[in-house]
Copies of this chain bind each other. A is one copy, B any other.
């Protein structure tokens, strides 16, 4: 059988190790859909909304360290995927977004779905490849694979016009070389070590892959033992945590709290991330979260090898060994009112070893983050780019990346609605994800922010931030998408529901009325 451009594109990605395609196809992608069906190395996963597809690709890469592909339908389909591509951009997560377009000769006719796709995708594409003819499909695919995997990793886009997909092609793209971040020179290590020794109150701010690298976490513990406070980004893509693992401090979310926390710091060494800035600006509050008079030194940029640099810095400082950490202690069943803290106690109590937490729980997330530090080993996946709605799809992708791990999606009731269609794909793919919706009937974070910005008229909660009238019933919504679900209004119900869901071999949703 003659191969098409779509076949060659798909085979080249498969050859490079792509194993999953999260898809929401349309007419212009029919040949790509068929090429995917002919390629046994790639599993196609149907999503009912494009934000589910891009969020899943993000979660998949965070856990597997391999990019997934997505299949999106022209500008409108890509548009629906942008919010979660944005999160992946900010988290430096690789993915390959394949966007079907009209046939090359059809683009000029202003058909209903025509739009200026090349401009639209620019802000959220590290790299753009356009398959102008079928013969370059392989080359474009391998270039996109290479680009998304190069440090700093970020989403790449391929525009695949329909005729480039259906015309015949022969030349498969090449297999990309393995990617490693750039090693830095010893001089920079020495400069940082020297500055640290001289400083009264030095901190190091770490981001990127080091946060889930065992040796790096050990090295961070040693830096702390050497008198360097270790901080990490507020919202990293992935952090390995648990009772037996060194717990760095986090940059605080609210700027004024961050600066209070950093009072007296005279040196900030930055490794694998950038100078900390406030999430939002507020009237008369600072944007840059470095105390006045504090020196900043860049140990490594995002494209450089932070893991290696941390090891060398430990050596240069002759840092003492890390203290032994105690095992996780048994945690009691929570009692009293159900709230984010008692929910967190149940999760800390029941969560199995090697779990994955996809956190989109906004105000309910922090109590869980704190409680789980002393619990079983797990990976915590943050909302990297601030576009709420990624909790469910990221969990979906994370689970498909590793079916042996227990995956939890934590979501606010506001955040959960943006990509609620994720539940259907969880059901269809029989993914034993435990989704917990914290139902406070509010965009609670916005009520806090409203007060902070000084915008409130009356001090009364704004109706525009309330999710009441009617209350969302997540149990019915989940059941409507084929997911078993239960509502919990007290600690006993929640704890039992969670235990049951963790032991089930199918997806469950728990609505925690808090």
Contact = CB atoms under 8 A, between A and B. Distances in A.
A480 B477 contact: yes
Interface string A386-427: 110100000000000000000000000010011011001001
A75 B424 contact: no
Nearest to A6: B455
Contact of A112 (B90, B124, B163): B90
Interface stretch (A19-27, A195-203, A308-316, A367-375): A19-27
A97 interface: no
Interface string A109-125: 11111011101101110
B473 A480 contact: yes
Interface in A427-472: 427-428, 443, 445-446, 449-450, 453-457, 462-467, 469-472
Contacts of A456: 34
Contacts of A465: 25, 33
Given A37-B464, A49-B417, A123-B116, A280 B481 contact: no
Interface residues of A, number: 103
Contacts of A477: 476-477, 480-481
Contacts of A450: 30, 33-34
A30 B105 CA distance: 46
Nearest to A45: B464
A509 to B, nearest CB: 11
Given A457-B34, A471-B482, A102 B464 contact: no
A283 interface: yes
Contacts of A122: 116, 119-120
A445 B73 CA distance: 14
A489 to B, nearest CB: 17
Interface stretch (A58-66, A271-279, A320-328): A271-279
Contacts of A472: 424, 480-482
A106 interface: yes
From A389, A450, A471, A477, residue with most partner B Cβ within 10 Å: A477
Contacts of A464: 23, 25, 33, 36-37, 44, 46
Contacts of A83: 76-77, 79-80
Contacts of A482: 470-473
Contacts of A235: 112
A280 B33 contact: no
Nearest to A87: B76
B80 A86 contact: no
A345 B110 CA distance: 35
A287 interface: yes
A39 to B, nearest CB: 11
A105 B473 CA distance: 41
B46 A463 contact: yes
Nearest to A80: B83
Interface in A85-100: 86-87, 89-90
Given A115-B124, A116-B123, A119-B123, A75 B80 contact: no
8 contacts: A27-B445, A34-B462, A79-B86, A102-B281, A112-B384, A112-B386, A116-B122, A472-B482
